[in-house]
Every structure is written in structure tokens, then in C-alpha cells.
Amino acid sequence: MAIRPNSDHARDVAHVLHPYTNLAKHEELGPMILKGGKGIKVFDDTGKGYIEGLAGLWCASFGFDEKELVDAAIKQMRELPYYHGFGHKSTLPSIDLAERLKAMAPAPFSKVLFVNSGSEANDTQIKLQWYYNNARGKTRKKKMISRVRAYHGVTIAAASLTGLPANHRDFDLPLPGFLHTDCPHHYHFAEEGESEEEFSTRLAANLEEMIIREDPETVAAFIAEPVMGAGGVIVPPKGYFEKIQAVLKKYDVMMIVDEVICGFGRTGSPWGSQTFGIRPDALSCAKQLSSAYMPIAAVMVSEDMYQAMLDESRKIGTFGHGYTYSGHPVAAAVARRTLELYEERKTFQHAAEVGGRFQARLKKLADHPLVGEARGVGLIGALELVADKKARRNFEPAKAVGAYASARAQEHGLLIRAMMNDSLGFCPPLIISEAEIDEMFDIVEKVLDETDAWVNKESLRKAA
């Protein structure tokens, strides 16, 4: 449908630069404009409602009309709408929130540094590793190891950690000193007959080889999402993190856990670290920290790291890092109320309980002729659409099969995300009910049938 001149859609095309969007296509298609939300649904400017199958961007845990969070923002706006944390200043919401985060953390942490997004959190993690190693006299220990298909953000350094081609191509990334080890996706990268445990053992050995090759005295940290999100919802194989952490400990390499997507009940535990037995040395969280109602993220550091930072601040005269909006009182007040509501309403327990229904409906779709793998844990999952199930052969990217399926879902009132290898991602608000899970997957079944019919009509399964 043509974009009407002077419409809101035309104004958007004329003035707004959209992230993660094909800009050329956007000039033709224009935006979907969202104007309201209720529960797990959002509504566009025509009044049509959609189940938000990805909780926005993996983040709106309480859906789109939680009055308690709105009221928390209004109350704090009236009391103190802004102040910073520079030069010994503080606000009660940031103090309360830091205290709560430490109390619920999956490991003993010393301090919390507030930032504004997951990208900023992971960018900060890199800076703190460099600072920490300078403080302890290990001035060569600066390299960062991430993984192929990892996602850790889009700032220059965080995007260097990210292991997705589109985040690097023509941005002149990654920067030197950023390394990428194997993607832990057993479905695609295991050798014939290799069990998950054997696959994990091989990946740990490959990591060890990389650290030795680079020289352990030059490698600072390894960063990982408990479940890879934007890389296609990759659930780690059995024994993976146990074996990886043994290698890291052997060579004095820090374990940074990126809980931006997995934190706060998403995987069936309060933290993805707990679901997969990870012992983080440092941790990043964001998104569901405030149910995405306000931009806020946090970096948690160990006492060992803090003591090194303390020594550096004595030497230099300041800790020269932070943001204008670090610990913004309104964002912190909303996040504080979010954590309170999780506890009051037993939200994590609810998510774990309905996660059983979610995973059952998801895994049942592995039998569909278009689905190569149905994978997930808790309330996060993906369906990977393939051209050949037996050979595990993906469609050619140019055929955009995942994008077609995502568009069909939108037509039927469901918003999901097509990712690498035509993987359809699902990550609904934590408040979703079993009836709503069934409603969502009833749409997905219809979408898969329609997409399969289109694939057959266009003969898209033929190899190039």
C-alpha cells in the first residue's frame, strides 16, 4: 500500500532513521505505528491488536500497561525528576536498586554501576577489564573473547564482542584484540555422531587452544550470554559452561555473563547463570530490569575488581567513567518497583510454570516439514526453518523465508522476529498465560503451513 503524503507514515520516512531496518525497503513500506498496549498485546494506529511474541525486544516482562510501574515513574518525577551520581552525589532509588540487585544476584558482587542499555553495560565491562588489569600490573592482559553469533551490543567495543556479520560489515569492526571462538550450536556444528557432552568438550579444547595461541598473559576475559538471543536463541549443549569455566580458571581469564536477555526469570530461574550453572566474575543486566518501561542497565563487579578500581582512583584522583543518566532516579525507581513486583506476584515462579506449556507447544512443531530445530528453555525459544530437514540445510538467505513467515505472523496478529538462518524467535512477556501461549502457537501453526505452501509454490527448497 502506497504511503499517503503528509501522513504519520510519510513523516516517519522523512525524518526518522530506524535501527535494524532495511532503510531502502522502509522508504517503500513505511512503519507500523504502535499507539497502545494492554497486557501482552500492542495496538497499531488502525486499532489492530497483536500478541507481542518477543516482548518488544526481549524486554517487556510485565507487558504494556502495568499501572504500578507507571505510578512509580510519576511519583519519582514529582519528587526528583533527575539527578546524577558524579562527585559523591546519590539518590535513594539508585541506592535501593543496587542493594536489591546485589541481594538477588547469582554470585557475590561488591558494587553495582548503573548505565542505560545492554550495549553500554557490555562496553563498560570491557573498559573495566582493561582498568582492572592495569591496576594489578598485567598491562598486556587486554584481549576479549566472545563467540561466533553472540550478541553483546552495538557501541564500537560491544559490537566488536558481537559475533554477527551484519554488525561488523562496513563498520570496520571488530576492533583489534577482540576474538571469537566457536558458536555452541550442536544442531549445526556438531560432528557426525558427536554427543552434546563431546561437542562441549571439543569447544572447550578449542577455547583453550585459542588462549594458549594468543598467550594467556594477553587474554583478559570471556563473555557469554547463557542463551544466545539475537544469534538465534542458541541453548548451550550439556556440560558446556562447566567445561568452559574450567579452562578460564586455569588461565586467569574472567567470566563475564551477559544476562541482558536471560536475566529476571526468562530461563525458568531468576538468572540464566543459575539455569546453566555459571559462576560469573562480572555480570551485565538490562531489559527486564525495568520491564523496559525506562532505559536502565547495570554492571555488577566483584570485590577483587572493586579493590583494584579503588587503588586506581587513589592514584589518578577519580574513577573516570560514568554517564549523565547513570542511576537516573526515575529509571531506578521504576526498576526498583519492577523487582518488588517480581517478588510480590511470584512472577518468576509463574514464568517457570507456564514455561512448560510454552516449551511443549514449541517442541511439538519440530515435526513440521519446514522446521529443522525447535529449541528453547523457560519462556524463550526459536524455530529454525530449513530447506532440507535430513541434511539440516538452510534456505539461501536471499530467499528470506524467515522474513516471509514473520510477515504472515504479523498479518495474523502476532509479532515475532526472524533472525539468522531463518530462525523465528519467541520471548513473550513473563505474565503470559497458558491460554495466551496456546493462542500464540495456534497462529504459529497457521503461519508455518502458509509459509510451507509458499515455499513449495516458489520451489525455494532447491539448492543453488
Cα–Cα distance, 308 to 295 (Å, whole number)? 29
Kindly state whether residues 107 and 246 are assigned to the same domain.
yes
Q: Which residues of 10-29 are buried (b: 16+ CB within 10 A; e: fewer)?
A: eebbeeeeeeeeeeeeeeee
Residue 462 lies in a domain: no
Domain boundary among 293, 310, 344: 344
Kindly state whether residues 94 and 60 are assigned to the same domain.
no
Kindly state whether residues 45 and 153 are assigned to the same domain.
no
Domain boundary among 302, 320, 344: 344
Residue 223 lies in a domain: yes
Q: Answer for the pair 372, 392: CB distance below 8 angstroms, yes or no.
A: yes
Kindly state whether residues 334 and 368 are assigned to the same domain.
no
Kindly state whether residues 321 and 334 are assigned to the same domain.
yes
Label residue 304 by pLDDT band (50, 70, 90): very high
Residue 24 lies in a domain: no
Kindly state whether residues 338 and 373 are assigned to the same domain.
no
Residue 283 has pLDDT above 90, yes or no: yes
Residue 1 has pLDDT above 80, yes or no: no
- CB-based contacts of 260: which residues, under 8 Å, 6+ apart? 58, 118, 121, 122, 225, 229, 284, 285, 286, 287, 297
Residue 22 lies in a domain: no
| Sequence letter at residue 116 | N
Cα–Cα distance, 436 to 443 (Å, whole number)? 11
Residue 463 has pLDDT above 90, yes or no: no
Residue 121 lies in a domain: yes
Cα–Cα distance, 431 to 62 (Å, whole number)? 6
**Residue 412, domain extent:** 32-65+347-457
Kindly state whether residues 397 and 339 are assigned to the same domain.
no
For residue 300, the cross-strand partners are 112, 283
The CATH number of the domain where 106 resides is what?
3.40.640.10
Dump pLDDT digits (tens) for 108-147. 999 999 999 999 999 999 999 999 999 999 999 999 999 9
Q: Look at residue 69 in the predicted model and tell me its pLDDT.
A: 98
Q: Look at residue 5 in the predicted model and tell me its pLDDT.
A: 87
Q: Nearest to residue 423, comparing CAs of 199, 187, 130?
A: 187
Q: Answer for the pair 144, 223: CB distance below 8 angstroms, yes or no.
A: yes
Dump pLDDT digits (tens) for 2-32. 788 889 999 999 999 999 999 999 999 999 9
Residue 19 lies in a domain: no
Kindly state whether residues 122 and 198 are assigned to the same domain.
yes
Label residue 464 by pLDDT band (50, 70, 90): low
- Count the domains in the chain: 2
Cα–Cα distance, 289 to 59 (Å, whole number)? 8
Q: Answer for the pair 452, 446: CB distance below 8 angstroms, yes or no.
A: no
In angstroms, the Cα distances linking 342 to 56, 62, 116 are: 19, 9, 21
Q: Answer for the pair 375, 187: CB distance below 8 angstroms, yes or no.
A: yes
Average pLDDT of 409-435?
97
Kindly state whether residues 421 and 377 are assigned to the same domain.
yes
Cα–Cα distance, 10 to 3 (Å, whole number)? 6
Kindly state whether residues 78 and 224 are assigned to the same domain.
yes
Q: Answer for the pair 234, 184: CB distance below 8 angstroms, yes or no.
A: yes
Residue 21 lies in a domain: no
For residue 374, the cross-strand partners are 383
| CB neighbour class for 55 (10 Å; exposed up to 12, middle 13-18, buried from 19) | buried
| Sequence letter at residue 192 | E
Average pLDDT of 68-72?
98
Instruction: Dihedral sign for Cα 164, 165, 169, 174, please.
Output: positive
Kindly state whether residues 329 and 435 are assigned to the same domain.
no
Kindly state whether residues 404 and 385 are assigned to the same domain.
yes
Residue 180 has pLDDT above 90, yes or no: yes
The CATH number of the domain where 415 resides is what?
3.90.1150.10
Dump pLDDT digits (tens) for 311-336. 999 999 999 999 999 999 999 999 99
Domain boundary among 292, 325, 344: 344
Strand order in the sheet with 178-181: 111-115, 297-301, 282-285, 254-258, 219-224, 143-147, 178-181
Average pLDDT of 215-232?
98
Q: What is the mean pLDDT of the chain?
A: 97
For residue 417, the cross-strand partners are 425
Dump pLDDT digits (tens) for 36-64. 999 999 999 999 999 999 999 999 999 99
Rounded to two decimals, the pTM is 0.96
Dump pLDDT digits (tens) for 234-281. 999 999 999 999 999 999 999 999 999 999 999 999 999 999 999 999
Q: Nearest to residue 264, comparing CAs of 288, 232, 229, 240?
A: 288
